[in-house]
């Protein structure tokens, strides 16, 4: 499934893998986020942190009539305030999707799959 953007010059198709890479990159650069987690934690292993090429396993993209809805699965660092980390991820993901791809995210849902001790 791809997001279609129509312009005067034609149609642009942006695949979910590209959207997931932008979302995953935006989420992991926020303070307090240890990494991305799989949306199917029990099947893929609860302790596994996803690598950049596997971000599609930790992001769910749903296309709606006037934008998209995104679910982001993350692991946060121990001692950080989960609500603040989640708000930071939400705002950064919304901003980067609009700035990089020209896509408006109607909602960004952050699901915390685990907590890990931050490395010094």
pLDDT score, position 97: 93
Of 31, 73, 34, nearest to 56 by C-alpha is: 73
The sign one gets for the Cα dihedral 111, 53, 107, 77 is: positive
**Inter-residue contact 16 to 58 (CB < 8 Å):** no
Provide the CB-side half-sphere exposure for 27 (13 A, CA): 32
pLDDT tens for the 120 residues of the chain, in order: 677 777 788 988 888 889 999 999 999 899 999 888 887 655 555 556 767 667 778 899 988 877 889 999 999 999 899 999 999 999 999 999 999 998 889 999 999 988 888 665
Note the pLDDT of residue 52.
Answer: 66
What is the spatial distance between Cα 98 and Cα 32, in angstroms, rounded to a whole number?
Answer: 23
pTM, two decimals, is 0.83
What is the predicted pLDDT for the residue at 58?
Answer: 85
Place of tokens 């307090």: 32
> Residue 13 corresponds to which tokens in the numbers above?
């198709």
| Interatomic CA distance for residues 6 and 76, integer angstroms | 37
Strands 67-77 and 105-116: parallel
């Amino acid at each position: 499934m791809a997001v279609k953007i129509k312009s005067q010059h034609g149609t642009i198709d942006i695949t979910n893998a590209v959207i997931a890479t932008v979302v995953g990159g935006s989420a992991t650069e926020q303070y307090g986020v240890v990494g991305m987690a799989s949306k199917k934690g029990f099947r893929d292993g609860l302790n596994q942190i996803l690598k950049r090429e596997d971000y599609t396993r930790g992001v769910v993209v749903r296309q709606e009539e006037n934008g998209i809805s995104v679910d982001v699965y993350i692991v946060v660092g121990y001692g950080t305030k989960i609500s603040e980390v989640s708000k930071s991820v939400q705002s950064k993901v919304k901003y980067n999707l609009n700035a990089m791809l020209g896509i408006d995210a109607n909602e960004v849902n952050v699901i915390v799959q685990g907590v890990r001790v931050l490395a010094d």
